[in-house]
Amino acid sequence: MTALHDIPQVQEAPSLHRRILADITDKIVSGEWPPGHRIPFEYELSAQYGCSRMTVNKALSQLAKAGLIERRRRSGSFVSQPKSQAAILEIHDIKTEVQALGLPYRYKLLGRTMRRATAGDRERLGLAGPSPVIALACRHFAGARPFCHEDRVISLAAVPEAEGEAFQASAPGPWLVDRVPWSVAEHRIRASGADASIAALLDIEAGAPCLVVERRTWSAEAPVTHVRFTYAGDSHMLVARFTP
C-alpha cells in the first residue's frame, strides 16, 4: 500500500477521514444507501481509499456517534433506521434577540423577594426541603413595547452570591450564566392564554395567545434556577434547524 505521507500533497484542503465521512454521509442522505444497508467493511473502504483502517475507523466512529450508522461487531456497519426526529434549538439571550430585530433593548426589574421555598417553588425547582430561594419578576423591552415577561426562582443553596445581587442593572439570565456552571437544562415550550396580570405587563389583551418557554437548570444534580419566559404570540418565534 502506498503510504500517503510519502507522496507529496498536490493541493486539496479537507483531510482524508473528512472526505470519507462526507462521501458516506452523502450516500446515506441521498438515499443511495437506505436504512438497513450494510456499508462496506472498514478494510474494504481502506482498500478503496488507499488508506489505513484507522483512518476509515475515525470516519465511521464519527458517523456512529452522530447516529447515522450503527456498528455491530462481527457483522459490520449499517445505516440506521430514521430515529425520532430531533432538532437543535438555539436559545439566545433575550438582549441579543431583541437587538437582532434592530430594536433597542431595555430591562426592568419588577420585583425581588427572598423567602424559604414554598410548595410551588419546590415543585418548580425540584427542591426537597424549604431551603431559601430568591424570586424575581422582570420585563424585557424591545423599543417601547414589552417583549417578554420573566418569572424566575433561584436556589440560594446553589447560588449563594445571588443574595447580595440586586438585579437592577443586568438581567438575572446573563448574570447566572457568567457565574454558575451548569450541567443540564430542560426546556418546556407551550402556548398559553395571557392571564390578567401578564396581559397588563405585556400590554396585550387578556387571553391573547402567548408562547411560554420554561427552563430548569441543574448544576451537578443540584437545582439552580427555574425560569418562565412569556412572549406575546406575535412578537416571538423559536427557530430550530437540523441537519442529520
Partner DNA sequence: TCGTTCGTTATGTATATACATATTGATGCC
Partner DNA sequence: GGCATCAATATGTATATACATAACGAACGA
Question: Which of its own copies, DNA, none interacts with 103 (beta carbon under 5 to 8 A by kind)?
Answer: none
Cell of 31: 438515499
Cell of 232: 406575546
- Chain centroid to Cα 174, Å, comes to 16
- Do the strands 105-116 and 38-39 form a parallel or antiparallel pair, or are they unpaired? unpaired
Residues 219, 182 contacting (CB under 8 angstroms): yes
DSSP helix/strand/coil, 154? strand
Question: Which of DNA, its own copies, none interacts with 82 (beta carbon under 5 to 8 A by kind)?
Answer: its own copies
- Residues 40-69 contacting DNA, CB under 7 A: 41-43, 50-55, 57-58, 60-61, 64
What's the CA gap between 152 and 135, in Å, rounded?
Answer: 6
- Residues 3-32 contacting DNA, CB under 7 A: 3-5, 8-9, 15-18
Question: Which of its own copies, DNA, none interacts with 74 (beta carbon under 5 to 8 A by kind)?
Answer: DNA
Question: Which of DNA, its own copies, none interacts with 200 (beta carbon under 5 to 8 A by kind)?
Answer: none
Q: Is 241 in the site for DNA (CB under 7 A)?
A: no
* Residue closer to its own copies, measured from CB, 168 or 183: 183
Cell of 106: 431595555
What's the CA gap between 60 and 53, in Å, rounded?
Answer: 10
Which residues lie near DNA (CB under 7 A)?
1, 3-5, 8-9, 15-18, 41-43, 50-55, 57-58, 60-61, 64, 71-77
